[in-house]
Amino acid sequence: MMTTFNHYLTAQEVKDTCSYHEKSVTDRITDHDFPSIARPWGYCVDFTDKDRSEEISRHDICWESIGRENSKVGTRVAGANWSGRYNALGTSFSNVNESLERRRKMLSLNPNMVILAELRWRDYTDSSLPVDHEFWKRDRTGNRIPATGDKMNEPRYYLDIDNPKLTEHLCQQAKCMVESGVFDGVFLDWYGPSAAFLKKLREAIGPTHLILINANYKYDPERAMYINGAYMECYKTNNPESLPLWEKTVCPPKINVFDMMGEAVNCTGGPDLKRMRNTTTFSLIHSNGYVLYGDHYHKHRWFAFWNTKLGKPKGEKCNLMQGAFKREFTNGVVVNNSGDKPVTIKFDALKKRASNETTGRVFTIESGDGDIFMNTK
């Protein structure tokens, strides 16, 4: 077989582990293999709920909402909940010991996993705050302003991010998330707030904890000064040109994530394997980060293509022709062809193609495709 599969510990093997040592977050980010798959909220549909721990462990970066806002019960990694009646006002976790134990189990299964919590700054559900609370954003007549975007189980309303008391409170929530030991950092959806807010957030949680923001296809050098990565939640047919820009400018350790939402909702029907390969190899060429190919709600399949163990990058990308690049790794070579013409690549030694396991020295990659060519020795 061409592909090499990671060994994922069983629950019994975790119990049999006599000692547990958690690697630093920098080491976990540095040590992960490639391709490295992300798990934003959603889960892999190829696993049942009873196999959820194994499913989660196959991902090297995960994040979740606090209090089950965006996640089905049982699919969250740490499963932390805010104390108190109102989620938006929480400053401590009601189940910190259980959450720390779940974190320990996940890191036993995958020692390189990074676990983040969503810091909700844009909007909250109706029951998350008292109706008369000052954190709600209001129109001229004093009514709360309904939030746009994906539907949830109950109405959502915007928060008043310009309220300095809310800014201070959000920074306190972030400190709770990381100082509890449950999470390695925070994730901010909806392109994150302003660079000024991110500066305050960085000052609050310090330089060793992680900040990831949702940027989609956008790029902002001012925000890059305070964050460790951009989450590129992409839905167009083209790949994000901003990925190499974020990779150059965010703070180390870098955790850029490219998520192409190309699957049908709930991953029904046959997957577009060509687009999945293009997404995966584009990430491998232009970053040292994480990748996902799934649906609009981040549910995804597990592709055999992702089981390939490339090792670490040996250098930067090399241009083959317009829109086509290659990059060498310890155990093979990645080629991405986002150009408009096929590209042919020749190797001095035999390589095995990941997509179909053919062996040879000369391969052609069609336009809008990509592939991994593994060393045969």
Cα-flanking dihedrals φ and ψ of residue 207, to 5°?
Answer: -80, -15
Give the span between the Cα atoms of 214 and 124, in whole angstroms.
17
CATH of domain 313-377: 2.60.40
Give the right CATH number for 20-120+163-307 from 1.20.120, 3.20.20, 3.40.720, 3.40.50: 3.20.20
- Against a cut of 0.85, is the pTM above it? yes
- Note the pLDDT of residue 21: 83
- Note the pLDDT of residue 192: 80
Across the strands, what pairs with 148?
A: none
Q: How is residue 48 written in tokens?
A: 């049942």
Give the span between the Cα atoms of 196 and 216, in whole angstroms.
20
CA distances from 351 to 138, 331, 332, 348, 373 (A): 61, 10, 8, 9, 6
Q: Are 157 and 227 in contact (CB under 8 A)?
A: no
Residue-range domain boundaries for the chain: 20-120+163-307, 123-160, 313-377
In the block, residue with structure tokens 């997957």: 271
Of the candidates 314, 318, 349, 308, the one whose C-alpha atom is nearest the C-alpha of residue 330 is 314
Give pLDDT tens digits along the chain (377 positions).
Answer: 333 334 344 434 443 443 468 999 999 999 999 999 999 988 999 998 889 999 999 999 999 999 755 555 467 899 999 999 999 999 999 999 999 999 999 999 999 999 999 999 999 999 999 999 999 999 999 999 999 887 667 889 999 999 999 999 999 999 999 999 999 999 999 998 999 999 999 999 999 999 999 999 999 999 999 999 999 999 988 999 999 999 999 999 999 999 999 999 999 999 999 999 999 999 999 999 999 999 999 999 999 999 999 999 999 999 999 999 999 999 999 999 999 999 999 999 999 999 999 999 999 999 999 999 999 97
Across the strands, what pairs with 136?
A: 159
CB neighbours of 230 closer than 8 A, spacing ≥ 6?
212, 213, 214, 215, 219, 224, 242, 246, 250, 256, 257
| Positive or negative: CA dihedral 159, 165, 167, 171 | negative
Q: How is residue 252 written in tokens?
A: 């180390």
Which 8-state DSSP code applies to residue 246?
H
State the virtual CA torsion across 320, 36, 292, 74 in degrees, nearest 10: 180
DSSP calls for 331-353: TEEEEEE-SSS-EEEEEEEEEEE
- Note the pLDDT of residue 303: 97
Considering only CA atoms, give the Rg of the chain. 21
Return the H-helix or E-strand segment holding 259.
Answer: strand 257-260
> Angle at the Cα of 52 (from 48 to 56), degrees rounded to 5?
130
- Note the pLDDT of residue 188: 97
Of the candidates 84, 123, 106, 88, the one whose C-alpha atom is nearest the C-alpha of residue 22 is 106
- Note the pLDDT of residue 72: 54
